[in-house]
Structure 1
Amino acid sequence: MGSTERLINPEVQKVFYNYPTQVRDKISNLRKLILETALEIGITDLEETLKWGEPSYLTKHGSTIRIDWKEKKPDQYAMYFKCTSKLVPSFQLAYGDLFNYETTRAIAFKLDDEVPVKELKQCIKAALTYHTVKHLPLLGIGK
């Protein structure tokens, strides 16, 4: 996956194109952070696809990450994780109120939030490597 351009899925691009202008850059930034993190940790099998109509990122030893904006909550967008995993509960323990959480399934951002990049990349890393870190305290996330 040396180049993120090779990862572009035309169906996912359509979804990005259909986001409102003020949201498109925000969601694109989350995508960029996922792709950068995968590259930084040496993941070469990252797949970009749609799940439930949402841009989704999967890898063999990880847990699916989805990103989306929904009309019913127009002032926020989110990064979604498998709700039955230890991911979001571990993020809450590691980072407290640094993030806004939606139960055990998401980290939500207001449109005007400053995204804490370093910490969010740690969360992304934990998700992309979930099946190799799920036995570790806080999934190996360091403060």
Structure 2
Amino acid sequence: MNEDIQAVLARYPPHAISQFISVRQLIFLLANENELSPVEETLKWGEPSYKVKSGSAIRIDWKAKDPNFIKVYFHCQTILLETFKELYPKDFMYEGNRAIAIPLTSMIEHTPLRHCLTLALQYHTLKHQPLLGA
């Protein structure tokens, strides 16, 4: 994890760091399992951002104004959130066409987040298929 990401995490409470790390590890695991290009980890708009060549950027952040959630952001000009809402209407809290809000108390392995992240990581190869080929 690079120093910029570590600096962002330094302002998170411990339970938010734990959830952040779970989501981050899942992104790297999925990229590896699906034999996607290396994950680029950077800061975009002050938030940790993850991207592979064939995918759309995924950002993760915790904000003090909404302290019980970690947010997973997706590019608003994609059909990712629209697809997630269609596939998983009751599994997440959604913020418009930008984010999934994940409670810090939830176990991400018990949510369909794995599928959503996989779709985002493969977005450019799936974007012309109905429901992203799901």
Give the equivalent residue in structure 2 for 1:128: 121
Q: Which amino acid aligns with 2:28?
A: L
Give the equivalent residue in structure 1 for 2:103: 110
Q: 2:40 aligns with which of 16, 24, 47?
A: 47
Contact 1:62 1:128 in 2 (8 A): yes
RMSD: 1.4
Q: Which amino acid aligns with 1:121?
A: R
Give the equivalent residue in structure 2 for 1:17: 10
d(CA) in 1 for partners of 2:59 and 2:81?
Answer: 13
Number of matched pairs? 134
Shift, 1:37, TM fit: 0.6
Give the equivalent residue in structure 2 for 1:33: 26
Percent identity reads 44
Q: 2:57 aligns with which of 56, 60, 64?
A: 64
Q: TM-score when scaled to structure 2?
A: 0.93
Q: 1:94 aligns with which of 71, 87, 99?
A: 87
Segments of structure 2 that go 5 or more residues without pairing to the other structure are none
Q: TM-score when scaled to structure 1?
A: 0.87
Structure in which a larger fraction of residues adopt helix: 1
d(CA) in 2 for partners of 1:117 and 1:126?
Answer: 17
Shift, 1:84, TM fit: 1.3
Would you say 1:81 and 2:53 are equivalent positions?
A: no
